[in-house]
Structure formats: C-alpha cells, structure tokens
Chain A
Amino acid sequence: MKPVISLNFVDYMILSAYVLITIIVGYSLKKYMKTSEDFFLSGRSLPSWITSLAFLSANLGALEVIGMVANSAKYGILTVHFYWIGAIPAMIFLGLFMMPFYYSTRVRSVPEYLKHRYNEATRGLNALSFAIMTLLMSGISMYAMALLFELMLGWSLTSSILLSALVVLIYVFFGGLSSSIYNEVIQFFLIWLGLLPVVYIGLHAVGGFQGLVAKIPPDFLHAWRQMGSASKNPMGVDWLGLVLGLGFVLSFGYWTTDFLVVQRAMASENLSAARRTPLIASFPKMLVPIIVVIPGLLAVALLPQFKVVHGGPTPDYNSALILMFAHYLPNGILGLAITGLLASFMSGMAGNVTAFNTVWTYDIYGSYIKKNMPDEHYLKMGKYATIFGVLFSIGTAYIVRSFPNLMDYMQLIFTFFNAPLFATFLLGMFWKKTTPWAGFWGLLLGILAAATHYLLYQFHILHYSSEMAANLYQAWWAWCVDFVMTIIISLFTARKDEKELVGLVYGLTPKVHSDERFFKKPAFWGGLSIAVMIVLNIIFW
C-alpha cells in the first residue's frame, strides 16, 4: 500500500527540531540529578502549572488520541463521557481528598503507601502487577504507533520504534522525572497546536458547526439523551453501567491510584500545589474533546469511508485522524500535526517509563532485592531501570506484532488491576478499621472476581449488549467484591495500632489549615471544575 501522507523537507525540519529540543531539555537537567528523590520525584520542587499540564499530558498518549478520535467516528458525542464524567469527578476527588495522604506522608510511590497503610504483601502485589502492566502498555502503544506510521507515512516499523524509544531513553536517562515532566509540558502545547488546524480547516470545509450538525446522524449529537437503555445508543451501554463502571470504578481507579498520573502530582513543590495539580488539569481535560471528538465527527461528515451505513463494511476507525490530516493539511502544518502525534506518543511512553523505574527501584529492588543501600546506589539503579524498561517495552512491541490479539486482552487485564485497587484505597484511607490482611486478600479477591466475570462472559453465561458494557460491569463487580470482602475480612483479622495510621487515614490525620488566598485554595478549583462539567453536560445533553 502506498503511504497516504508524504512529508517534505519543511515537515522533517519541524519534526527534527522537536526531537532536538526534547534531548536538550533532558540533558540540561542532568546536573540537577543529585539524589534519588531528584531523579524519581523531581526533588518535590515543581510549580503546579507545570505538574498539572504534565499530569494531563502523561495520560494523553497517542493511543489515547487516536483511539478516542476513532471512538468519536464510531459513537459520536458519547465519547465525551470519557473526558467528563469518566475523569473529572475522579480528578477532583484525588485533589481534594486523597492527595493529602499521598503527599504529606512523604511516600515515594503508590505501592509504598500500601505498605504503610496495610503490609508488605499488599505492596508487593501492587508493585509487581503495576510494573509489569506499565511496561506492557508502553510496548503496546509503541507498536500501535509504529504500525500507524508504517501504514500512513511509509516509515518502517523498526525505525519508528527505535527512534521514539531512543529519544525517550535519552531524556529520561539524564533528567529522570523532571525531564519527563518538562517534556510533557512541551508535548502538551504541541499536541494542541498540532491538532487544532485540522479542526479549524475541517469545520471550514463542512460549513461551521451548523454544517457539521446537518451532516452527521442525530444520535451522534447527544451525550445523554439516549442513555436510557443499552439498545438505543451506538455504544450499547445504559446510563447505570456508564455511571457505575466508567464514572465511578474505572475512572476513580485510574486517576486516583495509577502511579503514572499520581507521580506527577507528587513532584509538586508543596501540598497545596500537589492538590491543585489534578484540579487545574481538570480544566484542559474537559476541553480535550475539541481536538479528539470534533475530528472524529468531521471524519464522519466529510470522509465518505466513515459515513454511517447500516450493514455496510466496518471502516478502519483508527485511521480516521491520519486520513483527516492527509485530506486537509498542506505540508508545513502537516509536519506540525505529525509532530503533535509523535509528541503525544512520547509523553505517554515517558510517563510509563518513569513510573516503572520508580516502582521498580523503590518498591521491588529497594525492598526485596537490596535493602538499605546508600542513596547513590538507588539513583544509579533508577538509570539502569530506565534502560531496562525501554528495552523491555521494545521487546513487548515485537511480541504484540506477532500476536495482535494481545492488544485487546491487555486493556482488559489493565482493568483487572485498577478497578479493585480503588476499593482497597477507599477503605484504607477512609475507614480506620480496615486491617492489613484484609487489604491484601480483598485486593486479590477483587482481581480474581474480575477474572471470573471475564470467563463467565467469554463462555456466554453472562450477556451484555456490547463489549464495552461487559467491561464496565466487570469493573463494577470487581470493585464490589474487593469492597465487601475487605470489610468482612477486617472484622476477623488483627488491626494496626492507631498510632501507626496517623497521616495515612482520614479521621486520624489533623486537617490542613491554610491561609492562602481563595484562588489558591483547592476547594475553590474543585468546586469550579465540577460546575463547569455539569454545565457542559447540560449543553450537550
């Protein structure tokens, strides 16, 4: 197949300038990396505007951008649920209620919190599963990206993989988390500035918003109106499944316990900045649909292959964004758009790699393999872990290449671990009677419940109207099992001494008082964010 996009020298100039600047930024941070905390947590020194943009950017990987444009072409405006109800409440909850426990206890990672709150076994279970999942995810997104570039730009799979892996390796190796965060901020601007032209020209082509509305099916235009029953909307999910599965369990599980995002907030300069990180990030998060949902809708309206035809062949939705680029962007701006995509890919990958090297060094290597070594030893280990993590991701990319189905399974397994973990955290932080072993067994049983549900669905014992509905309910049941079992087991096992739980559990921790001006207060930002989200949902009802 002939590639649909041909780049010229201007486009390549833009791409190279981006690669160059990421390496320069990473290298110039090298001299600040003196202790392991500098490397893994940016010395807890960054202002909240930087951490919040990085917080958002680490989540805005290329797989996410391309996948969500594809979802919008497939399901229409329903995709906004992944950005509004599926993210905002959880981000606010993290900022207002959970961040104080993560930040004030000076833990260095999410698994480390579990060790203090529960026990070594709970930490081990979480650290190990997180480390493996993270590397697999990073390899899978690398493969997906390289495959897309091969089809669309004609770059070979191996050269895309090696180029992006090498760049990420260089800048994370030198500058650790700071480098990853600084680059994520740069990537944030490139993703927006690279993707907006296609929105601008596309809307121009379709005749503005009114033209767009006239050219897409009516059920693509409303976010809630057809959520009454699963059979009436393109996604095949009812409102209950959406609210419980996506809005509650999956979203809270991801945003509040996934170290990939939490780590960015932990790098803040003080507690208040750490709490503001997810709250400020929630505003640009609500706007992300502008650059993912609108291009998807434009593809449906403008490109004949995405026209909604019942019974017709299924189009390759994943190519929607790139085909929009190919049709509407002239060289020059095209290079910027491809750079934006490459930037989003690198930010996602660097996010995975930095989260991995921290959990590996502190929670696996430093806790089970070589305890109590001098700090320089762990700093060095972090650098080796970066190399190892990148190599492992490359390996995964090639494994996925020979087993493309793996990709579907991975997303699923990811929900196995995140959904129940949120129950373990919720009880751990807000109910002081939760016992250490209840934490461990609750988490394990939750994971097993997700696995059981999955098997029941696969063997057609349980039925749902769509794959997505099955996923959302699976998350919900896994959470329930973890929640209920943790409570029951807590009643029969030994509790921790309350003195050990000070700072880790709500109710045993003194409230933070601050005399900051109102516009620096987390509660102000949280309230504003939820209000804006409600208004947006009403507008697109």
Chain B
Amino acid sequence: MENTEQRRHFFDLKIPLGSLLGFYGIVLFAYGIFGPKDIYDKSFHMDINVVWGILLIVISGAFFLSAYLGRRVRK
C-alpha cells in the first residue's frame, strides 16, 4: 500500500511550481526597486515589475501553503 501511495503522486508539483514563481517574484520585485526607472515610460509610469513581483510572491506562498496543508492532511 505504501508503495502505491508513493507511486500515485510522484512528487508534489506545487513545490517546484511555487519555487519558480517565488524566484520570479523576488527577481521582478528587486529589479523594480533597484533597477532603472526610465523603462517605465512604456508602462505609463507604473512600476509593473514591483506590482507583478508582489503578486508572484503571493501566488508562490499560496502554493507552498497548500503543499504544506496537503501533506499534513495525508499524515
């Protein structure tokens, strides 16, 4: 039974997915804060990198949280 359980779910996809999005969030956020500002003329002076960076960090957090809760339920 333990063997089938292991096979059933391979590994939890939420973890690599959350890591990738989290990494993107941090990179975009940091570039938005510390990077050049004149590039935002294109986006009507909205610092889209900071906005999207925060969004990605939140989504990434949601994936980790759900992976954590899922594991607790299974235990």
The yes or no answer to A480 lying at the interface (CB within 8 A) is no
Given contacts A10-B31, A14-B24, A336-B52, contact A329 B43 (CB under 8 A): yes
Q: Which of B7, B17, B44, B48 meets A333, CB within 8 Å? A: B48
Contact with A along B7-27 (1 / 0, CB 8 A): 111110100110111011001
The contact string, 1 if C-beta is below 8 Å from chain A, for chain B 33-66, is 0010001101110101100100110010000000
Shortest C-beta distance, A218 to chain B (Å), equals: 27
Assess the B46–A204 pair: CB atoms within 8 A: yes
Query: Would you give the shortest CB distance from A39 to chain B, in whole angstroms?
Result: 13
A13 interface contact, C-beta 8 A: yes
Query: Which of B10, B24, B44 has the most chain A CB within a 10 Å cutoff?
Result: B10
Q: Is the CB of A21 within 8 A of B27?
A: no
How long is the Cα–Cα vector from A13 to B27 in the complex, in angstroms? 9
Contact partner, B28, options A18, A200, A336, Cβ 8 Å = A336
Hey, what's the 0/1 contact readout for A296-339 against B, CB within 8 Å counting as 1?
A: 00000000000000000000000000000001111111001000
How many whole Å from B21's CB to the nearest CB in chain A?
A: 7
Q: Hey, which chain B residues are within 8 Å of A193, CB to CB?
A: 21, 24, 52, 55-56, 59
- Which one of A24-32, A153-161, A424-432, A522-530 contacts B? A24-32
B52 CB contact (under 8 Å) in A45, A185, A197: A197
Interface residues of B: mostly helix, strand, loop or mixed? helix
Task: Give chain A residues whose Cβ lies under 8 Å from the Cβ of B40.
Answer: 330
Residues of B in contact with A, size category: 20 to 34
> Which residues on A sit within 8 Å (CB–CB) of B46?
201, 204
Query: In the complex the two chains form, is B7's CB within 8 Å of A45's CB?
Result: yes
Measured in the bound complex, the distance between the Cα atoms of B74 and A252 in whole Å is: 39
Instruction: Decide if B43 touches A330 in the complex (CB within 8 Å).
Output: yes
Tell whether, in the assembled complex, residue B13 and residue A330 are in contact, meaning their CB atoms are under 8 Å apart.
no
Q: Is the CB of A29 within 8 A of B10?
A: yes
Please state if B10 and A32 are interface contacts (CB–CB under 8 Å): yes
CB pair B28 A269 closer than 8 Å: no
Verify A185–B23 contact, CB threshold 8 A: no
| Docked-complex contact B48 and A25, CB < 8 angstroms | no
**Set of chain B residues within 8 Å of A332, measured between Cβ atoms:** 27-28, 31-32, 35, 39, 48-49
Question: Which residues of A sit under 8 angstroms from B31, Cβ to Cβ?
Answer: 10, 331-332
* B48 engages A24 (CB within 8 Å): no
Q: Please tell me if A186 contacts chain B, counting CB pairs below 8 Å.
A: yes
**Which residues of the other chain, A, contact B27 by a CB distance below 8 angstroms?**
10, 13-14, 332
Q: Is A469 close to B, CB under 8 A?
A: no
Q: How far in angstroms is the closest Cβ of chain A from B66? A: 11
Residues of A within 8 A of B43 (CB): 201, 204, 328-330, 333
Contact indicator A333/B52 (Cβ below 8 Å): yes
Which of A17, A29, A197 is in CB contact (< 8 Å) with B23? Answer: A17
Which residue of chain B lies nearest to A10 when distances are taken between CB atoms in the complex? Answer: B31
A272 at the interface (CB under 8 A from B): no
Beta-carbon nearest neighbor of B49 in chain A: A332
**Which of A178, A186, A333 is close to B10, meaning CB atoms less than 8 Å apart?**
A178
Given that A45-B7, A45-B9, A333-B49 are contacting pairs, would A17 and B42 also be in contact in the complex, using a CB cutoff of 8 Å? no
Select from chain B the residue with minimum beta-carbon distance to A49: B13
Question: Do A197 and B7 touch across chains, with their CB atoms under 8 A apart?
Answer: no
Known: A330-B39, A336-B28. A17 touches B48 (CB 8 A): no
The chain A residue sitting closest to B32, CB to CB, is A332
Which of chain B's residues have a CB closer than 8 A to the CB of A18? 20
A450 at the interface (CB under 8 A from B): no
A50 in contact with B19 given A45-B8, A330-B40, A336-B52 (CB within 8 Å):
no
Query: Is A245 among interface residues, defined by CB-CB distance under 8 A?
Result: no
The chain B residue with its CB closest to the CB of A201 is B43
24 A-B residue pairs with Cβ-Cβ distance under 8 Å, sorted by A, are A10-B27, A10-B28, A10-B35, A17-B20, A17-B23, A29-B10, A45-B7, A45-B9, A47-B9, A50-B13, A186-B13, A186-B20, A189-B17, A189-B21, A200-B48, A201-B46, A204-B44, A204-B46, A329-B48, A330-B43, A331-B31, A332-B27, A332-B35, A336-B52
